[in-house]
Amino acid sequence: MNCKKAKNINLTAVLKKIGAREMKKNNHEIWYLSPFRNEQKASFKINLKKNTWYDFGFGSGGTVIDLVMRLQNCTISEALLFLSDSNYSFSFHQQKSLDKSAEKINIIKSMPIKHNALKGYLKERKIDLHVAQQFCYEVNYSFRGKTYFSIGLKNRLGGYELRNKFFKNSSSPKTISLIQNNKSNLIVCEGMFDFLSLICYKPILIKKADFLILNSLSFIAELKNYYQKYDCIELYLDRDNSGKNATKTLLEQSSKCFDMSLLYEGFTDINGWWMNYKN
């Protein structure tokens, strides 16, 4: 898979795969409820002629590659790998029906992290093994008739965020992860490795705060449910356009929210900063 071929993948096929809800359609465009957040009025538009998308909530858009990168919070190479391993039609005008059951990840078992490949991956990301073992698991799962293993962070509904050196995925149901210590402060991170990096950097935080890991910016609206419970909410979101817009929205919603991203100024996320800091 290369960028030229990936950009020709039908965007409607990708949105169908992730379960996005189509609201209205004409000859030139399709409107969806945004896959990035919960909403009642469609704010996500597909341009059928150009095969591009635009999310009016974020004020940005792009190609199918940009969509996967934002949904999966991954790099271009990881997005191409994701797209090359999926059953999409490579035509703007044809769309194969997708067998959702075949696309489902089935968890086989979870256990303490022991596999050397996963330990090596944690070392590459500068995550201390004893920190990862406190909060994550080694998860065996099946996908399309094959079995895999990854580092898994469990969410509050029992699904897992799954990461190894080659794949970034999640099992259903997908939602936020919570680390609760009955504290009055809440620390909010976007992803698993942001959370782990922060604990490696300042281990005392785990004793002084609760943690909420979004696992996707699409769950940003969930934070409204926690405004009353906490006295202080520290935001460690990515310093890309999406993360900055989300931070701005949350700061406007509640005076309890504080932007902590200056810690890793010059880097997109905490893990990128932490890896550089350790080096």
| CA dist list (Å): 183 to 6, 64, 152, 225, 230 | 45, 41, 25, 16, 8
Question: Around Cβ 90, how many Cβ atoms within 10 Å?
Answer: 13
- How far apart, in whole angstroms, are the C-alpha atoms of residue 198 and residue 29? 42
Query: Quick one: pLDDT band at residue 20, thresholds 50, 70, 90?
Result: confident
Q: Which fold has domain 3-99?
A: DNA Primase; Chain A (3.90.580)
Instruction: Give the phi and the psi of residue 138 in degrees, each rounded to 5.
Output: -90, 115
Mind giving me the DSSP string for the chain?
--HHHHHTS-HHHHHHHTTPPEEEE-SSEEEE--TTS--SS--EEEETTTTEEEETTTTEEE-HHHHHHHHHT--HHHHHHHHHTS---S-SS------HHHH--EEEEEE-S--HHHHHHHHHTT--HHHHHHH-EEEEEEETTEEEEEEEEE-TTS-EEEE-SS-EEEPSSP--EEE--S-SEEEEESSHHHHHHHHHH-TTHHHH-EEEE-SSGGGGGGGGGGTTT-SEEEEE--SSHHHHHHHHHHHHH-TTEEE-GGGGTTSSSHHHHHHHHH-
Per-domain residue ranges for the chain?
A: 3-99, 104-171, 176-279
pLDDT score of 57 = 78
Query: Quick one: pLDDT band at residue 100, thresholds 50, 70, 90?
Result: very low
Mind giving me the DSSP string for 35-59?
TTS--SS--EEEETTTTEEEETTTT
Tokens of 252: 């406007």
Mean pLDDT for the stretch of residues 270-274: 95
Query: pTM score > 0.95 for this model?
Result: no
| CA dist list (Å): 222 to 8, 38, 147, 250, 254 | 34, 9, 32, 11, 13
Give the position of tokens 């202080």. Answer: 232
pLDDT score of 5 = 84
CATH of 176-279, one of 3.40.50.12780, 3.40.1360.10, 3.40.630.10, 3.40.50.300: 3.40.1360.10
> Across-strand partners of 47?
29, 52
Candidates 201, 177, 102; CA nearest to 146 is 102
State how beta strands 60-62 and 185-189 pair. unpaired
Tokens of 245: 């817009």
> Across-strand partners of 178?
212
State how beta strands 185-189 and 168-170 pair. unpaired
pLDDT digits (tens, 9 = 90+) for 157-213: 999 999 988 777 888 888 899 999 999 999 999 999 999 999 999 999 999 999 999
Cis before 203 (ω within 30): no
Instruction: Give the phi and the psi of residue 95 in degrees, each rounded to 5.
Output: -140, 115
Query: Quick one: pLDDT band at residue 85, thresholds 50, 70, 90?
Result: low
